[in-house]
């Protein structure tokens, strides 16, 4: 079984600053991390590998520095990594990203399962997974918290939605986006880390993927980010303190005073 995991490098939000003038993220000097949800996807793949005869390949699209993120996943026990890097990929929106990633999956040829994090913590769109599934014409399930292999050709997954839990059976190949309940990411092992240090990571560009440069990057994007801003801070907040009972009492009083309908 061959599992492909798509990951993304994102700015470490623990240390993110907002430029007071432009209201955009200050990316300079901010360390990059692997999108935390993607680490859950890597963990999900490695868990399957722990108990089955499976090969795990991690793929990311990004600048050459993104090899470091790939190397980190090799340290966790991932078998292979591929970097998709080309000047033509710059400025990709989710559609262009999905186009590029799905071309890479197609190039790998034998992928039985594609795993992604449920969303990236920088863009928060949660679009790339489902878009890839559409482009690859495979079934998909989002917000997956458990994966069971059935026979060679199908899987059973448990989805966590706002309404409750759903159990789905999907034929493979299939694409899944996973949530943190899938399991805490493991720590690296020394042997894998040593191997990762020496590993050769292939770089695939637009030509390697057979992609027209007009279909990727900024040219291949349907959306453009015109402006990024923080919503204005609301100042009319009050903090209710005290025991739970007191808090409920005060909240009710406040709602009554504010003439909220239904109270």
Partner 1 sequence: MDYFLTEEQKMIQELAAQIATEKVRPSRAKLDENDEFPWEIMKTLAQADLFGLYIPEEYGGMGGGIFENCLAVEQLGGACIGVATTFAASGLGAYPILLFGSEDLKQKYLPQIASGKRLAAFGLTEPGAGSDVSGIKTTAVKDGDHYILNGSKQWITNGGEAEIYSILAITDRSKGARGASFFVVETGDPGFSFGKKEKKLGIRASATRELIFQDCRIPKERLIGREGMGFIVAMKTFDKSRPGIAALGVGLSQGALDLAVEYARKRVQFEKPIISFQAIQHKLADMATKTEAARALVYSIARFMDSEPNDVSKVAAMCKMYAADVAMEVSTNAVQVLGGYGYMQDYPVEKMMRDAKILQIYEGTNEIQRNIIGQELNKEYGRMKDTFF
Neighbours of 21 (CB within 10 A): 6
Shorter beta-carbon distance to partner 1: residue 81 or 174: 81
27 makes contact with partner 1 (CB under 8 A)? no
Please identify, among the stretches 89-97, 99-107, 185-193, 216-224, the one whose residues bind partner 1 according to the rule CB under 8 A.
185-193
Q: What is the DSSP letter of 53?
A: S
Shorter beta-carbon distance to partner 1: residue 153 or 189: 189
194 makes contact with partner 1 (CB under 8 A)? yes
Tell me the C-alpha distance between 133 and 148, whole Å: 19
| In the complex, minimum distance from the CB of residue 186 to partner 1, in angstroms, rounded to a whole number | 6
Please identify, among the stretches 20-28, 86-94, 145-153, 188-196, the one whose residues bind partner 1 according to the rule CB under 8 A.
188-196
CA 194 to chain CA centroid, nearest Å: 26
17 makes contact with partner 1 (CB under 8 A)? no
What is the bridge-based pairing of β-strands 55-61 and 80-84? parallel
31 makes contact with partner 1 (CB under 8 A)? no
Shorter beta-carbon distance to partner 1: residue 107 or 195: 195
The position carrying tokens 């990059």 is: 32
| In the complex, minimum distance from the CB of residue 95 to partner 1, in angstroms, rounded to a whole number | 36
| In the complex, minimum distance from the CB of residue 32 to partner 1, in angstroms, rounded to a whole number | 17
186 makes contact with partner 1 (CB under 8 A)? yes
CA 206 to chain CA centroid, nearest Å: 22
Tokens representing residue 189 in the block: 């092992």
- Torsion from C-alpha of 195, 203, 60, 182, nearest 10 degrees: -40
188 makes contact with partner 1 (CB under 8 A)? yes
The number of residues making up the chain comes to 263
> In DSSP terms, which residues pair with 144 in a beta bridge?
159, 178
> In DSSP terms, which residues pair with 167 in a beta bridge?
158
Report the residue from 161, 187, 235, 262 that binds partner 1 according to the rule CB under 8 A: 187
Q: List contacts with partner 1 (CB under 8 A).
A: 186-191, 193-194, 197
């Amino acid at each position: 079984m061959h599992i492909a995991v798509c990951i993304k490098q994102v700015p470490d939000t623990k240390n993110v600053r907002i430029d007071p003038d432009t209201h955009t993220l200050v990316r300079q000097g901010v360390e990059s991390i692997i999108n935390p949800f993607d680490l859950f996807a890597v963990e999900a793949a490695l868990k399957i590998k722990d108990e089955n005869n499976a090969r795990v390949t991690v793929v990311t699209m990004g600048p050459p520095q993104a090899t470091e993120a790939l190397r980190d996943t090799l340290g966790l026990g991932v078998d292979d990594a591929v970097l998709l890097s080309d000047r033509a990929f710059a400025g990709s929106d989710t559609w262009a990203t999905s186009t590029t990633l799905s071309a890479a999956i197609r190039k790998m040829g034998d992928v039985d399962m594609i795993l992604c994090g449920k969303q990236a913590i920088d863009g928060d769109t949660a679009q790339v997974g489902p878009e890839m599934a559409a482009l690859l014409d495979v079934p998909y399930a989002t917000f997956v918290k458990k994966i069971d292999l059935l026979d060679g050709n199908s899987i059973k997954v448990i989805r966590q939605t706002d309404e409750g839990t759903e159990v789905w059976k999907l034929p493979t190949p299939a694409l899944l986006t996973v949530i943190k309940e899938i399991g805490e990411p493991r720590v690296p092992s020394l042997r894998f880390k040593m191997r990762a240090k020496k590993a050769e990571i292939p770089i695939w560009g637009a030509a390697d993927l057979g992609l027209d440069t007009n279909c990727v990057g900024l040219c291949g994007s349907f959306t453009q980010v015109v402006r990024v801003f923080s919503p204005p801070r609301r100042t009319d907040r009050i903090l209710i303190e005290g025991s739970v009972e007191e808090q409920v009492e005060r909240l009710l009083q406040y709602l009554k005073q504010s003439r909220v309908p239904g109270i």
